[in-house]
Structure 1
Amino acid sequence: MIEIKNIAKTFGDRQVLAGIDGSFQPGETSLVIGGSGTGKSVLLKCMIGLVTPDEGEVLYDGRNFLTADENTRKAIRREMGVLFQGSALFDSKNVFDNVRFPLDMLTQMSEDEKADRAHASLQRVGLENAEQRMPSEISGGMKKRVGIARAIVMNPKYLFCDEPNSGLDPLTSIKIDQLIKEITDEYKITTVVITHDMNSMMEIGEKIMFLFEGHKLWEGNSDTLAHSDVKELNEFIYANKLLRELERK
């Protein structure tokens, strides 16, 4: 389980996060939603250690990541898998080497063990026949799947996905959502997804946190999302639906 308590962050004179609390459970796909500039990506960066909050706690199964000693922080990092918004693949490495990279950097596994683990991760996302291809030779959806394979190759307890559907067509977005949900259920991972995609909210939003101007204004799930009495959330949902309709035309 991941718990965040009173997370606050200010850049200059702009408060980006204002006392955010929440918890994320194993085997559950949790979404953090909101418009651009609402603080959701900064919250994720605070959770994985790329940004240090001004206040608050980030607890991984009771371990405070922010105040832990370096050995504990390294241990927690090894339990994380991260899918970055742009997939963040190495252009000079083929698909297989991209997926194996965390094993090379963070483990003492033998070459055979690393190869077996990378093969298994790529097979899990349906890319076992693309191992020798370069990132420039595959589609955006395939790049996302490579990113997911790399994120799970360490058998993480915690999976973070930053806008996994960014730049994808609606059908491919659905497939990526389904894959994230399946992996979360299958491995009982604690998954946190940063998104503004309406389909994701309705299809995989077992728990949803809505941020607006750095504040958490609402929390619920996909079943209660459409029945909110929070004006800012309803406006966000309407704008998202309108954008989807325009994209279909």
Structure 2
Amino acid sequence: MIEIKNIHKEFDGRVVLADINAAFQQGKVNMVIGGSGTGKSVLLKCMIGILTPEKGAVLYDGRDFIKSDLDQVKEIRREMGVLFQGGALFDSKTVLENVRFPLDTLTSQTIEEKNAQAMLCLQRVGLEASAHQMPSDISGGMKKRVGIARAIVMNPKYLFCDEPNSGLDPLTAVKIDLLIQEITKEFNMTTIVISHDMNSVMRMGEYIMFLKDGHKVWEGNNTNLLLSDIPDLQEFLSTKLT
């Protein structure tokens, strides 16, 4: 489980996140939704340590990530997998080398062990045949799958996905959603997805938090999302479902 308590973040005096509280459950796909500029990606960056909030706590199974010493921060980071919005693959590395990268930097395994682990993850996302291709030689959907393989190569407890369907056609987006759901259950991870894709939200949202202007306005799941009478949420849904 990941808990966030009273997360508050400002930039030059402008409040971007205002005392956000939430509990993200293990073994479920947890989603953070909202329009552009509502603080979704800032929240993710605070949770994974790219940004530091002015106040608040981020608890990984009870461990306060923000207040942890360097050794515990490293330990928690080893338990994270991150799928960045643009894929963030290294153009100069093969698919296999991209997936292997966290093992290269964070473990002392032999090259044979690292290659074997990376290949297992590529097999899990159906890309073992593309192991020796370069990122420039594969499609956008395949790049996202490579990103997922890299994100799970360390057998993480926590998976973060920033707009995983950005730039994908609808059919490929469905495949990525299903893959995220499957690996969440398979590895019993706490998965957090940042998204504005309502199709994905309705498919995957076992827990959903809606942000508006840096405030948490609503939380629930995909079965009661459309039943909400919160005006800000209704307005957001009306722009996404038309």
Instruction: Compute the TM-score of the two structures, normalised by the length of structure 2.
Output: 0.99
2:241 maps to: 241
Letter in 1 for 2:129: N
Cα deviation, residue 13, structure 1: 2.4
Check if 1:59 corresponds to 2:59.
yes
Q: Distance in 2 between matches of 1:235 and 1:173?
A: 24
Tell me the percent identity.
66
SS in 2 for 1:47: helix
SS in 1 for 2:166: coil
1:169 maps to: 169
2:42 maps to: 42
SS in 2 for 1:59: strand
1:140 maps to: 140
Check if 1:128 corresponds to 2:109.
no
2:76 maps to: 76
2:155 maps to: 155
Count of residues in correspondence between the two structures: 242
Q: Distance in 1 between matches of 2:73 and 2:188?
A: 22
Letter in 2 for 1:163: E
* Structure 2 spans left out of the alignment, 5+ residues: none
2:104 maps to: 104
2:116 maps to: 116
1:92 maps to: 92
SS in 1 for 2:53: coil
Q: Distance in 1 between matches of 2:171 and 2:115?
A: 31
Deviations 1:106-135 (A, max 9, x none): 001111110110000000000010001111
Deviations 1:151-206 (A, max 9, x none): 00000000000000001111111110000000001110000000000111110100
Cα deviation, residue 26, structure 1: 1.0
Superposed, 1:207-226 pairs within 5 Å as 207-226=207-226
Q: Distance in 1 between matches of 2:167 and 2:232?
A: 25
SS in 2 for 1:129: helix
Q: Distance in 1 between matches of 2:167 and 2:14?
A: 29
Cα deviation, residue 237, structure 1: 1.1
Letter in 1 for 2:109: M
Q: Distance in 2 between matches of 1:22 and 1:170?
A: 30
Deviations 1:67-91 (A, max 9, x none): 0000000000000000000000000
Q: Distance in 2 between matches of 1:142 and 1:60?
A: 30
Instruction: Compute the TM-score of the two structures, normalised by the length of structure 1.
Output: 0.96
User: Once superposed, which parts of structure 1, at least 4 consecutive aligned residues long, lie more than 4 Å away?
Assistant: none
* Structure 1 spans left out of the alignment, 5+ residues: 243-249
Q: Distance in 1 between matches of 2:202 and 2:158?
A: 22
Q: Distance in 2 between matches of 1:4 and 1:10?
A: 16
Structure 1 vs Structure 2 CA RMSD: 0.5
Q: Distance in 2 between matches of 1:168 and 1:30?
A: 21
Q: Distance in 1 between matches of 2:191 and 2:202?
A: 16
Q: Distance in 1 between matches of 2:109 and 2:4?
A: 33
Check if 1:189 corresponds to 2:185.
no
Q: Distance in 1 between matches of 2:128 and 2:232?
A: 44
